[in-house]
Amino acid sequence: MKFTNLGRTGIRVSKICFGSLTTSALQKNFTAEKAADLFAYAIQEHQINFFDTAELYGNYAHFRALLKRVKRQEFVLATKCYAYDRKTAQQSLEKALMEVGTDYIDLMMLHEQESEHTLRGHRQAIEYFLEQKEKGVIRSVGYSTHFIKGVKAAETVPLMDVVFPLINRRGIGIADGERMEMEQAIHEQIDRGMGCYLMKPLGGGHLLEEYPRAISYLQKEFPETVIAIGMQSKTEVDLNVRSIVDRVWDRDEEERFHFQEKKLKIADWCVGCGACVEACQQNALGLKGGKAVVLDQSKCVRCGYCAKACKEFCIKVV
């Protein structure tokens, strides 16, 4: 495993971050024991030490179970929340500490920030987290974003340590512009010394058929930056380590990975705009009850057109 410093935080992390949304009830709904076994495998067999979760995922129990298998100092835990004032920030932090069973969080982030204006609206929460950082309860503070304006907003909060943006070779999920604009915004923050790790390298699963190109794109554009990727099996862990860290393409392994059963899933925050339905040339999608639905999984060819059209990033392959 290769490691890098997370900006100026002093936290050393693996070049792969294990995104745990995949194991949560929002996607594969692993039991705590099953998830912990997979996390422990990633740590013990491949030295992956960086894990990303969120209050929304509801899977803190997975990490509590992990602590039965490894020592707390063997992994770096990042979590995210929607806290907006001191009270909700305290509640979110205490929930994470209690449910994980730890006395500190390595990286506490605000979830899905859009711009300097939303960061300003969460100022009290940021101040609370920074106070807890001074006390050693939190090691670093940051936020995640799908917005170019969100990445640029880091400059308005000088004490923020880490930004966690969305980027992939097709720009799937970028909410307010094009891929090249997001690339520039990310590079600007890295040059400022911000800690940065990258989400959605496969565009929520829509770039699975382009896996080598999707990973190579990030390796060339952001060679020193950590890639966060969801994994649901030891096979996927093995493949991602070889591809992202060792840069070795195993065609047979990749084919086995592709042929695992994966389905299109539309999140419940869909606003029913119909953009995905119009973009789907296979007639796999439709609208029912004011929401987009998958009419026929067998018709989906994972082209990614629906995901590109969705401004809410509701559509994933899981």
pLDDT values of the chain reduced to their tens digit, one per residue, 318 residues: 999 999 999 999 999 999 999 999 888 899 999 999 999 999 999 999 999 999 999 999 999 999 999 999 999 999 999 999 999 999 999 999 999 999 999 999 999 999 999 999 999 999 999 999 999 999 999 999 999 999 999 999 989 999 999 999 999 989 899 999 999 999 999 999 999 999 999 998 889 888 999 999 999 999 999 999 999 999 999 999 999 998 887 666 666 555 456 788 898 999 999 999 999 878 889 999 999 999 998 888 677 778 888 988 898 887
Domain that holds residue 287: 264-317
Q: Are strands 3-5 and 162-165 parallel, antiparallel or unpaired?
A: unpaired
Tell whether 306 and 217 lie within a shared domain.
Answer: no
Tell whether 284 and 249 lie within a shared domain.
Answer: no
Tell whether 81 and 208 lie within a shared domain.
Answer: yes
The region that residue 19 occupies, defined by phi over 0 for left and psi between -120 and 50 for alpha, beta otherwise, is beta
Q: Residue 264: name the closest of 211, 309, 302 by CA.
A: 302
Tens of pLDDT, residue by residue over 248-283, are 876 666 665 554 567 888 989 999 999 999 998 788
Tell whether 210 and 282 lie within a shared domain.
Answer: no
Q: What local confidence, expressed as pLDDT, does residue 145 receive?
A: 96
Tell whether 219 and 250 lie within a shared domain.
Answer: yes
| SS3 per-residue string spanning the chain | CCEEECCCCCCEEECEEEEHHHHCCCCCCCCHHHHHHHHHHHHHHHCCCEEECCHHHCCHHHHHHHCCCCCHHHCEEEEEECCCCHHHHHHHHHHHHHHHCCCCECEEEECCCCCHHHHHHCHHHHHHHHHHHHCCCECCEEEEECCHHHHHHHHHCCCCCEEEEECCCCCCCCCCCCHHHHHHHHHHHHHCCCEEEEECCCHHHCCHHHHHHHHHHHHHHCCCCEEEEECCCHHHHHHHHHHHHCCCCCHHHHHHHHCCCCCEEECCCCCCCCHHHHHCCCCCEEEECCEEEECCHHHCCCCCHHHHHCCCCCEEEC
Tell whether 17 and 134 lie within a shared domain.
Answer: yes
Q: For residue 283, what is the domain's CATH number?
A: 3.30.70.20
Tell whether 216 and 249 lie within a shared domain.
Answer: yes
Q: For residue 47, what is the domain's CATH number?
A: 3.20.20.100
Tell whether 43 and 179 lie within a shared domain.
Answer: yes
Tell whether 230 and 286 lie within a shared domain.
Answer: no
Q: What local confidence, expressed as pLDDT, does residue 249 receive?
A: 72
199: which strand partners?
166
Distance (Å, whole) CA 33 – CA 64: 10
Distance (Å, whole) CA 24 – CA 230: 11
Domain count within the chain: 2
